[in-house]
Amino acid sequence: MRIVLLGTSSGTPTRTRNVSSLAMILDGRVLLFDCGEGTQHQLLRAPVRTGAIEAIFVSHLHGDHVYGLPGLLATLSMNGRTRPLDLVGPESLRAYVETTLATSFHHPSFEIRITTPPYRGHGFTVTAAPLEHSVECLGYCVIEDDRPGHFDVARARALGIPPGPLYGELARAGDPRVCGPPRRGRRIAFVTDTRPCASAVALAHEADALIHESTYGEELRTEAAERFHSTAREAARVASDARVQRLILTHFSARYGDVAPLVEEAREVFPNTIAADDLLEVHVAAR
The domains of the chain are located at 2-147+183-283
Q: How far apart are CA 30 and CA 238, in angstroms?
A: 27
Structure confidence by residue, pLDDT tens digits, 215-273: 999 999 999 999 999 999 999 999 999 999 999 999 999 999 999 999 999 999 999 99
Find the DSSP H helices in the chain.
39-45, 63-66, 69-78, 93-103, 153-158, 165-173, 198-203, 221-226, 232-242, 260-267
Q: Mind listing the pLDDT tens digit of every residue in the chain (287 residues)? A: 999 999 999 999 999 999 999 999 999 999 999 999 999 999 999 999 999 999 999 999 999 999 999 999 999 999 999 999 999 999 999 999 999 999 999 999 999 999 999 999 999 999 999 999 999 999 999 999 998 888 888 888 898 888 888 888 888 888 888 888 888 999 999 999 999 999 999 999 999 999 999 999 999 999 999 999 999 999 999 999 999 999 999 999 999 999 999 999 999 999 999 999 999 999 999 87
Q: How far apart are CA 22 and CA 89, in angstroms?
A: 15
Other Cβ atoms less than 10 A from the Cβ of 214: the count is 34
The count of residues in the chain is 287
- Specify whether 64 is catalytic: yes
Of the listed 34, 64, 193, 278, which one is catalytic?
64
3-state helix, strand, coil in the chain (%, to 5): 30, 25, 45
Q: How far apart are CA 273 and CA 210, in angstroms?
A: 10
DSSP 8-state class, residue 22: E
Second-level CATH architecture of 2-147+183-283? 4-Layer Sandwich (3.60)
The answer, as to whether pTM is greater than 0.85, is yes
